[in-house]
Amino acid sequence: MWIVREIVAAFFGLCAGGITAGGIFTLISTINVIPRLAEKTTTKKSIMLYETMIVWGGAIGSLISLTNFQFRFPSIAAKIILAVYATFSGVFVGCLATALAETLNTIPIFFRRAKLTKGLGYVILAVAIGKALGNILQFNKGWIL
């Protein structure tokens, strides 16, 4: 009887994961993160490569997550690899959040309601510095939420 329960749980888990992944890829394509990054870096001809790498990254990340596969690296190499991964992940999440905020026009609405006419650059800089310092503290101190 337990095997049926496990099969049903696996089925619903895979269905929920597929729906979530579809939603994330829809969000990424709707707010045009990849074309915007390609335009800013003048690499429009590589958009298909970028999109393919995102799909492969999601698929490989899901497989690693499902199998509990662990990489074994020496301590210093592990920290360097983790720092590089965290940097690229942070850049991508930041671009995604910025594109979503631009799409929803949240920044102009906030500035209008707060009656701010100057200092947009300082606000963005303060948010970026705060986020960077928080990530550095989490990385160095090993803080996990």
First to last CA, the chain: 37
Closest CA to 110 of 127, 93, 95: 127
Residue 98 pLDDT more than 80?
no
Q: Which two tokens stand for residue 52?
A: 């393919």
Q: pTM to 2 decimals?
A: 0.51
pLDDT confidence band for 125 (50 / 70 / 90): confident
State percent of the chain over pLDDT 90. Answer: 0
Q: How many angstroms separate the CA atoms of 53 and 9, rounded?
A: 30
Instruction: Using CB atoms within 10 Å of the CB of residue 92, give its burial: 0 to 12 exposed, 13 to 18 middle, 19+ buried.
Output: middle
* pLDDT tens sequence across 58-96: 888 878 877 877 778 788 888 888 889 888 888 888 877
Taking the alpha carbons of 94, 95, 97, 98 in that order, is the dihedral positive or negative? positive
Q: How many angstroms separate the CA atoms of 35 and 41, rounded?
A: 10
